[in-house]
Amino acid sequence: MKSLAGYLLHPKIPTNQEDLRIIDLGAGTGIWAEEIADQYPNATIDAVDISADQFPPESFRSKNTHFWTHNCFEPFPEQYLGKFDVVHARFWLCIVNDDVAKQLFENFVTLLKPGGYLQWVEPLPRTAHVVSRNGGAPAPACEKLVQTWMKPTPLSSYDWVHALPRLFQEFKVQVEVEDKFTNPDRYLPIAAQTFLLGLTEYLYKNPEVEKYQEQLAMEHAGGAFVDVACTFVVGRKLVG
């Protein structure tokens, strides 16, 4: 993602203030937080997730990162409210449907100082498409993956991601940047490996998934992949 965008934090976000405080929500493995901690050694970085399972072991964390667990749909503890120069959120797509997007967004904004910045990064499901350099051979497994991106379950609804800048405006976070990136060819094979690995998580529900993985892998080897654009939206919390 860093190579795709060319930045971890958009260069428009000021980072030269003393006591810079950054928080990463849904931090997962903490890779973004740890890279940011390396880039800004004088900043303090909080990394929050509902589960500590993927956090790096304490002895492998930077001195300036603080990992803690919290359900981000619940109000944050008082001591964090309005304290952050930058709030970062990435890859909430699989967790959030339209019915709860506003609630989550509003909760995130409570962490920002007035004038603080929110950077939110998501794939755009409706941009999913097959990229094939296979002489026109059919790629049904890739086509199926495109459909899965658009609607993984009958109840999935992702309008909120496509309308992310509107959420910013609604909660008085002025949009400063809306970048969109599609993968160059060189990233598609490695991105495909990640999706294949991700599908393994569904194996326990449906043993057919293994066959689907094999079909996808064959189509990839023949020169057909699925690409999905990513959006990076950056906004500034209005003062007052």
Ligand X SMILES: C[S@@+](CC[C@H](N)C(=O)[O-])C[C@H]1O[C@@H](n2cnc3c(N)ncnc32)[C@H](O)[C@@H]1O
CB 132 within 8 A of CB 223: yes
Does 5 interact with ligand X (rule: CB under 6 A)? Answer: no
Which amino acid, residue 225? F
CA–CA separation, 226 vs 184, rounded Å? Answer: 12
Minimum separation from the CB atom of position 223 to ligand X (A): 28
Token readout for 50 is: 């509902």
Token readout for 31 is: 């890779």
- Please identify, using beta-carbon distances, which residue of 29 and 42 lies nearer to ligand X: 29
- Please identify, using beta-carbon distances, which residue of 29 and 169 lies nearer to ligand X: 29
Among 14, 28, 152, 165, binds ligand X (CB under 6 A): 28
Tell me the number of residues near ligand X by CB under 6 A: 16
Does 71 interact with ligand X (rule: CB under 6 A)? Answer: yes
Residues of span 87-126 touching ligand X by CB under 6 A = 90-91, 95
Q: Residue 235: which of 125, 92, 87 has the closest Cα?
A: 87
Among the residue ranges 50-58, 79-87, 160-168, 230-238, the one whose residues contact ligand X (CB under 6 A): 50-58
DSSP 205-231: T-TTHHHHHHHHHHHHHHTEEEE--EE
Contact residues for ligand X, defined by CB under 6 A? 26-29, 31-32, 49-51, 54, 71-73, 90-91, 95
